Chain A
Amino acid sequence: MGKTLKFLIPLALFAGLVALLFFGLGTDPRKVPSPLVGKLAPEFSLPALGDPTRTVSNADLLGQVSLVNVWASWCYSCRAEHAQLLRLARELKEVQILGLNWKDTEADAQQMLRASGNPYQVSAFDPDNRAGIHWGVYGAPETFLVDSEGRICYKKIGPVEPGTWESELAPTIDLTTRKCKEYRS
């Protein structure tokens, strides 16, 4: 009997795998529901990248529509989306782009901005995931669209691609009133 059971192990393992894959079918890995969407952005206060005397905090979000982009020099997708951020920084005068430099070293981060250009008004420097954890950052890159009252309208997981602003981000914000139109993630 014990001998026969041994030959059933592969089948049992496979059954487990099927259960897992069946579960996987029902979920969309790109969609991470963020409990933060529709709420005020979490409190944070961090030194600015390259200028430890300056503090970046929730105050920087008020009065203007902001894109808060979580990035790091070690993150390939961040480098890929860099060009799009540069384009948005040029084209979207009504929106400021803030960086949250996440789990990075100051030297590497600065080097990347020097070499590839800097789309950010300012980047908050968060090497120890202090703000990241409150913002629910799972991985870089992530981008939050925040309205002028500091409320999160949209959370984008993954790189910003050509068309992302137009099709995903822009519909959730009213740029004349600078308020969220709807909340999505």
Chain B
Amino acid sequence: MIPELGHFALILALGLALIQAILPLAGSYTGNLAWMSTARPLAWGQFVFTAIAFALLLLAFLTDDFSVVYVASNSNTLMPTIYKVSAVWGAHEGSLLLWAGFLAAWGAAVAGLSRNIPLQVLARILAVMGMVGIGFLLFMLLTSNPFERIFPPPLEGRDLNPLLQDPGLAIHPPLLYMGYVGFSVAFAFAIAALLGGKLDAAWARWSRPWTTTAWIFLTLGIALGSWWAYYELGWGGWWFWDPVENASLMPWLAGTALMHSLAVTEKRGAFKSWTVLLAITAFSLSLLGTFLVRSGVLTSVHAFATDPARGTFILIFLCIVIGGSLALYAWRAPAVSGGGRFDLLSRESFLLANNLLLTLLTALILLGTLAPLIYEAMAWGKISVGFPWFNTMFVAVTPFLALLMGIGPMTRWKQDEPGRLARELRVPFILTGAASLLTVFLMPLLSLDWYLVPLGIGLAVWLLTAHIQAIRERLRHKNSPSAILRDLATNGRSFYGMILAHLGVAMFVVGVTMVANYGQEKDVRMSPGDSQEVAGYRFLFHGVRTQRGPNYMAMRGHFQIFDGEKPIADLWPEKRNYFASQKPMTEASIDWGFTRDLYVSLGEPLEDGDWALRLYYKPYVRWIWLGAVLMALGGLLAITDRRYRLARGLTRASADVAGATATARS
């Protein structure tokens, strides 16, 4: 009975989404206030019913209801409770429900938190979100119902894919989906603005906190996924350029461009049509990611079970949503473009260049991801685009991006003097040159890519010093050391958020540079009692014992690590065999540190109790993820800026007037 209730709740949510897509929109054109006012309660209703469906699916997992196909395929009585919870979104159907649930939650949040937005605009925004909701709910109900039953029910479930039985992966998809779906808000704002033909500073100011919030989730989601791949896949890599990873990186890059472009639209009224296009692009890339993962068009380690009917549905959905919005863009954008003028040397120019670079990077990654498909379509044969291509593209574009990131925040809006800018940047420039030169002498690297280390370290120093200079410039007239704190307390939060996020990029660059160029890796055969030296650390192997886990048997190795004569860590890498799926899994063991990780993973058992083992030394690898955390914190600081709260009170009066006149006109 309970699964049927869940199914029914989904149908009700779909019904509400249908009304939400039509009624408020119609009201916004006819000036019918009662119709427009239905947008809020409908959004809340859609959220309540998807939440009920989600809770009931969760209940089915917790009570081991194997009469539900989805539960039987992804759970098992032996599984720890936390994984029964995360198994709800561990496969296609449930993750779709999570997606639809988040979409409804974002819709409800917009409905609840946007009191200052004119009703007409809000009605259109929520109607657009309702349309997206229809797509996902219909997709679920037609092709991927998580509540489908089987009779007779199996006695035991098939267990969750062991790769996913890990705390990191339990929270990775929710974060990622919050980010993906969050871009639907920016998208809905953009479409509503196109519909209304009014793209102004107020519109940009309303969109900014929503866009940044979605971006924060996506940043953390991607970082967590990368961290998970690092410790769980057992190869010590942190990014694999897998189509699914690319699917998450592309909306992130487009979203990053969007955040910067929105800043210009808000402050200077420029880049209007470009900002709208980015908002559409960011969400479209999120949807495209879904398509790529679930349609079976590309192969990937993460791919969900594929089904052509699903692929066809998502493709049609993509055509309607993306094709429709781009057609609307082509129709309405010419009327709204234009805006503030600016000189070649101005902050606008640097932000535009940064936007173009981010877009270029996105396009290159899209091209690489789709290359196998393009080759096949053109009958050029098969190709697999791997690491080398993506890395080359990444290394070719990011240095310019980092260079601009240092200059941009120092530059004035509208126009700046080259002399002033040169004076400001002289010290950072000299320090960067010195740091790069020092790395050449202090950190010699005898390989073909010798230039990468001075480049990476130089860019990080450049970002650090240029941003310190930007803070000094901002505080020029306030000399007391507590000035920063006072600035933070008053109206500087979005500025310091930007600084923090950019320093996160610097940290990321250091991590990538160090681990790529100074990481050490040893594939060795060891007998119990053997020692191996990696990067000055001695790894003493004590052997492997068998141990039982809740739903698996593990071979558990024991290592002692010595720095000189001093034992510094005990590592326990495992190789697990899950009972239900019979899939072997490696669990690496890591001694983590701020400046280096020591990483051990079990390979294969060989004869005479010997083992094939992988020992790694990963310098500064944590900085990659800490950098991402810093970026997210920067975003968090920025959205707490008083401007957004202050603006709310101030604009309310004027917004209501504007809304009323707009309603009267249309």
A residues lining the B interface (CB < 8 Å): 3-4, 7-8, 10-11, 14-15, 17-18, 20-25, 27-30, 32, 76, 79, 82-83, 86, 111-112, 114-117, 138-139, 158, 162
Chain B residues near A32 (CB-CB < 8 A): 382
Q: Indicate if the CB atoms of B333 and A18 lie closer than 8 Å.
A: no
Given contacts A7-B273, A18-B323, contact A25 B308 (CB under 8 A): yes
A-B interface, 4 closest residue pairs, ranked by CB to CB distance from nearest: A24-B297, A115-B523, A11-B326, A116-B612
Q: Which of A21, A25, A82, A111 contacts B604 (CB 8 A)?
A: A82
Chain A residues near B288: list those with CB within 8 A. 17
Residue of B nearest to A84 (CB): B584
- Could you tell me the dominant secondary structure of chain B's interface residues? helix
Residue among B291, B373, B381 with the highest chain A CB neighbour number at 10 A: B373
Among residues of B, the one whose C-beta sits closest to the C-beta of A18 is B319
Contacting A at CB under 8 A, from B562-621, are 582-584, 603-604, 606, 612-613
Give the chain A neighbours of B323 by CB distance below 8 A.
Answer: 11, 14-15, 18
The answer to whether B523 touches A29, judged by C-beta atoms less than 8 angstroms apart, is no
Q: Does B525 contact A (CB under 8 A)?
A: yes
User: What is the CA–CA distance of A29 and B312 in the complex, to the nearest angstrom?
Assistant: 16
Judge whether A29 and B372 touch: CB under 8 Å.
yes
Known: A29-B298, A117-B606. A162 touches B311 (CB 8 A): no
The residue on B at minimum CB distance from A108 is B523
- Asked if B372 contacts A111 (CB within 8 A), the reply is no
Other than the given A7-B273, A117-B612, A139-B384, 18 more pairs (CB < 8 A) read: A4-B334, A10-B277, A11-B326, A11-B327, A14-B284, A14-B323, A14-B326, A17-B288, A17-B370, A23-B376, A24-B373, A25-B295, A25-B312, A29-B376, A83-B584, A83-B604, A138-B384, A162-B583
- Contact of B330 with A by CB under 8 A: yes
Per the bound structure, the CA–CA distance linking A25 and B312 in Å amounts to 7
Minimal Cβ-Cβ distance residue in B for A114? B525
Q: List 30 A-B contacts (CB under 8 A).
A: A3-B334, A7-B333, A7-B334, A10-B277, A10-B280, A10-B326, A10-B329, A11-B330, A14-B323, A17-B370, A20-B373, A20-B377, A21-B315, A21-B318, A21-B373, A24-B373, A25-B296, A25-B312, A27-B376, A29-B296, A29-B297, A29-B373, A30-B299, A86-B604, A115-B524, A115-B603, A116-B523, A117-B604, A138-B381, A138-B383
CA distance A79 to B584 in the complex (A): 13
Which A residues are CB-close (under 8 A) to B308? Answer: 25
CA gap between A10 and B359 in the complex, in Å: 13
How close is B390's CB to chain A, nearest CB, in angstroms? 15
- Chain A residues touching B, majority SS: helix
Whether the pair A162, B582 counts as a contact (CB closer than 8 A) is: yes
B319: A residues at CB distance < 8 A: 18
Known: A7-B333, A18-B319, A20-B377. A115 touches B297 (CB 8 A): no
A153 to B384, CA, bound (A): 25
Complex Cα spacing A85 to B98, Å = 39
Chain B positions within 8 Å of A22 at CB level? 315
Range class of the B interface residue count: 35 or more
User: Which residues of chain B come closer than 8 Å to A18, judged between CB atoms?
Assistant: 315, 318-319, 323
Nearest-Cβ distance from residue B655 to partner chain A, whole angstroms? 28
**Shortest distance between the CB of B467 and any CB in chain A (Å):** 34
Check A21–B524 contact: CB distance below 8 A: no
Enumerate chain B residues within 8 angstroms of A111, measured Cβ to Cβ.
523
Task: Check A112–B277 contact: CB distance below 8 A.
Answer: no
Nearest residue (CB) in B for A25 is B311
Whether B374 is near chain A, meaning CB under 8 Å from some CB there, is yes
**Is B235 engaged at the interface, CB distance under 8 Å to the other chain?**
yes
Interface flag for B437 (CB, 8 Å): no
Tell me whether B334 and A23 are in contact (CB under 8 A). Answer: no
Which residue in chain A gives the minimum CB-CB distance to B300? A29
A116 to B374, CA, bound (A): 37
* B583 nearest CB neighbor, chain A only: A162
**Is B22 located at the chain interface by the 8 A CB criterion?**
no
Contact among A23, A115, A138, A162 for B373, CB-based, below 8 A: A23
B235's contact among A8, A10, A76, by CB below 8 Å, is which?
A: A76
Find the residue from A4, A22, A25, A86 having the highest chain B CB count within 10 A: A25
Measured between alpha carbons, how far is A76 from B604 in the docked complex, in Å?
15
Min CB gap B218→A, angstroms: 22
A25-B311, A115-B525, A162-B582 given as contacts; is B330 within 8 A of A7 (CB)? yes
Nearest-neighbor residue (CB-CB) of B243 within chain A: A29
- Measured CA separation A11–B606 after assembly (Å): 57
- Report chain B residues within 8 Å CB of A86: 604
Task: Choose among B235, B277, B523 the residue with the greatest number of A CB atoms under 10 Å from its CB.
Answer: B523
Cβ of B322 under 8 Å from chain A: yes
Per the bound structure, the CA–CA distance linking A82 and B280 in Å amounts to 45
Q: For B299, list chain A residues within 8 Å (CB).
A: 29-30, 158
Bound Cα distance from A22 to B288, whole angstroms:
13
Closest to A138 in B: B382
Residues of A within 8 A of B606 (CB): 117
